[in-house]
């Protein structure tokens, strides 16, 4: 019994230490960092050499594999896509912004597909604002779906450093994984997919982003921690912001946000998935952490 009591006491003291550190977060000054600057992913040509009306009975979905130009890949820290662009070709068609997450060799999971946008032939650059910005993670790749002309839409560069792949057939479904991408460099076809997007980083330079997702009795909750190397910073959720902190003890990530109109706390065990989420403001909610990346 003494041994069990000792172990329980040590666990309680350890938990008290963590909670004490978290509860003191409001006493810390929020770390300063440089302003957020938007970045461009992908590339659009003044006059794309290939936007062809090749019917295949469904759609053509393109994703860049490698490029000598501006990267199509979301950099470390992730961010929000708030607009995208594509240049019209010689044929009218409908195009959609896509975001793909690598899941193996020429295999991707579709994490986002936007509404179809009508593109008038020879109308130049077309830019669309995303009413709801799209949350993307490091490593995600922007792509392009063409659903009326049913052909690929890219700028031929004849540079072996510009490789891309097609997925043909029916329109892909968000959340599904597809392994049918075909690398066009197999036929010595090289180019850059005719799509770009504006990426706004989740956090200011010098801070690290951690995206929290929780399943609660009040519905799904998503927020973003922006913290320094000591885990101190802010937490943002639905336009509200609060001082916050994340502490890692072994396999467990402890977190807390402590503001006037936004308060929550909880943990995630990265080894076995055990978790807890409790929010008291803006509305009471309890549940589990589904991810904290």
Of the ranges 5-14, 47-56, 100-109, 265-274, which one carries the lowest mean pLDDT score?
Answer: 5-14
Q: 212 and 173 in one domain?
A: no
Q: 224 and 114 in one domain?
A: no
Q: 180 and 105 in one domain?
A: yes
What are the pLDDT digits (tens) for 95-144? 999 999 999 999 999 999 999 999 998 899 999 999 888 989 889 999 99
Q: For the chain, what is the domain count? A: 2
Q: Could you tell me if residue 158 is left (phi over 0), alpha (psi between -120 and 50 degrees) or otherwise beta?
A: left
Which of 5-21 are b and which e, b meaning 16 or more Cβ less than 10 Å from the residue's Cβ?
Answer: eeeeeeeeeeeeebeee
**Is residue 20 included in any domain, yes or no?**
no
CATH label of the domain that carries residue 149: 2.60.120
Q: What angle do CA 216, 217, 220 make, to 5 degrees?
A: 40
Q: 187 and 157 in one domain?
A: yes
Q: 87 and 152 in one domain?
A: yes
**Is residue 27 included in any domain, yes or no?**
no
**Is residue 68 included in any domain, yes or no?**
yes
What are the pLDDT digits (tens) for 176-196? 999 989 999 999 999 999 999
Q: Of the residues 167, 200, 233, which one is the last residue of a structural domain?
A: 200
What are the pLDDT digits (tens) for 192-203? 999 999 999 889
Residue closest to 96 by CA, chosen among 147, 141, 48, 46: 147
pTM of the model: 0.74
Q: Of the residues 200, 233, 257, which one is the last residue of a structural domain?
A: 200
Q: Which run of H or E residues covers position 14?
A: helix 2-23
Residue 204: count of CB within 10 angstroms of its CB: 17
Q: 192 and 152 in one domain?
A: yes
pLDDT at 168: 84
**Is residue 32 included in any domain, yes or no?**
no
What is the domain range of residue 67?
39-200
Q: 67 and 115 in one domain?
A: yes
Q: 102 and 191 in one domain?
A: yes
Q: 192 and 213 in one domain?
A: no
> What is the pLDDT confidence band of residue 15, given thresholds at 50, 70 and 90?
very low
Q: 215 and 155 in one domain?
A: no
């Amino acid at each position: 019994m003494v041994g069990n009591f000792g172990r329980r006491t040590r666990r309680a003291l350890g938990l008290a230490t963590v909670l004490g550190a978290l509860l003191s977060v409001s006493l810390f000054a929020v770390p300063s960092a440089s302003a957020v600057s938007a970045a461009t992913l992908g590339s659009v040509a003044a006059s794309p050499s290939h936007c062809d009306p090749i019917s295949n009975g469904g759609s053509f979905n393109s994703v860049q594999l490698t490029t000598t130009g501006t990267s199509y890949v979301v950099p470390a820290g992730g961010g929000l896509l708030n607009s995208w662009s594509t240049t019209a070709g010689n044929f009218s068609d409908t195009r959609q912004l896509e975001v793909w997450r690598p899941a193996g060799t020429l295999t991707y999971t579709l994490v986002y597909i936007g509404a179809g946008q009508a593109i008038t032939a020879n109308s130049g650059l077309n830019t669309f604002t995303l009413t709801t910005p799209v949350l993307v993670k490091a490593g995600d790749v922007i792509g392009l779906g063409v659903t009326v002309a049913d052909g690929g839409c890219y700028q031929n560069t004849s540079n072996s450093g510009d490789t891309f792949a097609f997925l043909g057939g029916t329109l892909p479904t968000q959340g599904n994984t597809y392994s049918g991408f075909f690398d066009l460099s197999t036929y010595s076809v090289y180019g850059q997919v005719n799509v770009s997007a504006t990426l706004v980083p989740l956090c200011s330079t010098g801070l690290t982003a951690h995206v929290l997702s929780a399943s609660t009795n009040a519905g799904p909750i998503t927020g973003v921690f922006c913290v320094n190397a000591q885990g101190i910073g802010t937490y943002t959720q639905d336009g509200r912001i609060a001082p916050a902190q994340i502490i890692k003890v072994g396999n467990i990530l402890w977190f807390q946000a402590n503001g006037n109109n936004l308060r929550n706390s909880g943990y995630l065990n990265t080894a076995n998935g055990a978790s807890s989420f409790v929010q008291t403001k803006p509305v009471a909610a309890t549940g589990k952490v589904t991810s904290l990346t």
